[in-house]
């Protein structure tokens, strides 16, 4: 089931929308975190109509999200230019994912700058190799990806950075806020590049800022980078960023993850 079809399959429920995540969107025993984040953004838009652009999201991955889930959204505050919404994705054992989503209109400002320059890399269409991700991560079947120098995780590399070109296989998911949120977390934790052999990893929380409301990019391709600043005691912290094909930064994030290897 592709991204657009999955979002459209949500059925009305008493306190939100009911949705069942199929196997091809799972990450181990839980739904892929980028998808659950996108489901909360979709529920916020469905519940509160004509919202301004999405500006910032704070996600807590509390527990496994699998089987039949209910997405709900609660308005926390709506001002003249900024709207705060809390979203919850719940299953049989309670809340699995919780998020605070901030929507805001643009305003006139004397400031106009960016200090998040993307790395200089070959254009994805000029690179050779498979665009399929590791088979043991079901949800990656929904994306095309091309590693840029960093390779794939769990290979015992001497780097703790992931650099990938990536895009949705579903064309309708490209260049949308929900689609970009779903794509922004597909790279494995950067510290997992150093692990020798597969072992479970899990995101704990994810803060992501949208740097633009223009997500246009050539042929749906985005450049993703995750870089770990620490790893020890089974925990790692990392910075994350996403650029369009012409080098415009569109997402910047921070994530805490647990490593079981």
- Return the pLDDT at 49: 85
Domain spans in the chain, listed from the N-terminal domain onward: 3-104+129-259
Pairwise CA distance, residues 207 & 179, whole Å = 16
- Tens of pLDDT along 157-193? 777 899 999 999 999 999 899 999 999 999 888 888 8
- Return the pLDDT at 135: 67
- Return the pLDDT at 150: 64
- Return the pLDDT at 136: 65
What pTM was computed for the model?
Answer: 0.93
Which residue ranges of the chain lie beneath pLDDT 70? 135-136, 150-151, 155-156, 261
Instruction: Find out if CATH 3.30.420.40 is the number for domain 3-104+129-259.
Output: no
For the chain, the helix, strand and coil percentages under 3-state DSSP, each to the nearest 5: 20, 40, 40
Torsion of CA 160, 165, 168, 171, to 10 degrees: 170
Contact assessment for residue 85 and residue 40, using Cβ atoms and an 8 Å cutoff? no
- Return the pLDDT at 255: 96
- Return the pLDDT at 156: 65
- Return the pLDDT at 74: 97
Pairwise CA distance, residues 193 & 215, whole Å = 28
């Amino acid at each position: 089931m592709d991204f657009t079809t999955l979002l459209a399959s949500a059925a009305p429920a008493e306190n939100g929308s009911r949705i069942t995540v199929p196997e091809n969107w799972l990450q181990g025993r839980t739904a892929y975190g980028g998808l659950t984040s996108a489901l909360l953004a979709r529920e916020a838009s469905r519940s509160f109509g004509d919202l301004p652009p999405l500006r910032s999201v704070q996600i807590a991955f509390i527990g496994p999200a699998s089987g039949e889930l209910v997405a709900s959204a609660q308005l926390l505050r709506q001002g003249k230019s900024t709207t705060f919404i809390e979203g919850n994705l719940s299953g049989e054992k309670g809340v699995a994912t919780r998020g605070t989503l901030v929507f805001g209109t643009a305003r006139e400002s004397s400031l106009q700058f960016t200090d998040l320059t993307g790395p200089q890399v070959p254009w994805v269409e000029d690179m050779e190799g498979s665009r399929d991700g590791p088979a043991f991560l079901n949800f990656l079947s929904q994306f095309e990806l091309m590693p840029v120098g960093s390779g794939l995780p769990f290979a015992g590399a001497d780097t703790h950075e992931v650099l990938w070109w990536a895009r949705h296989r579903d064309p309708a998911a490209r260049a949308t806020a929900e689609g970009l949120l779903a794509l922004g977390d597909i790279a494995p934790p950067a510290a997992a590049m150093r692990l020798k052999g597969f072992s479970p990893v899990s995101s704990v929380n994810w803060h992501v800022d949208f740097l633009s409301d223009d997500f246009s990019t050539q042929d749906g391709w985005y450049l993703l980078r995750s870089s770990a600043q620490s790893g020890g005691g089974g925990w790692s912290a990392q910075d994350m960023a996403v650029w369009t094909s012409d080098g415009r930064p569109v997402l910047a994030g921070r994530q805490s993850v647990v490593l079981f290897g």
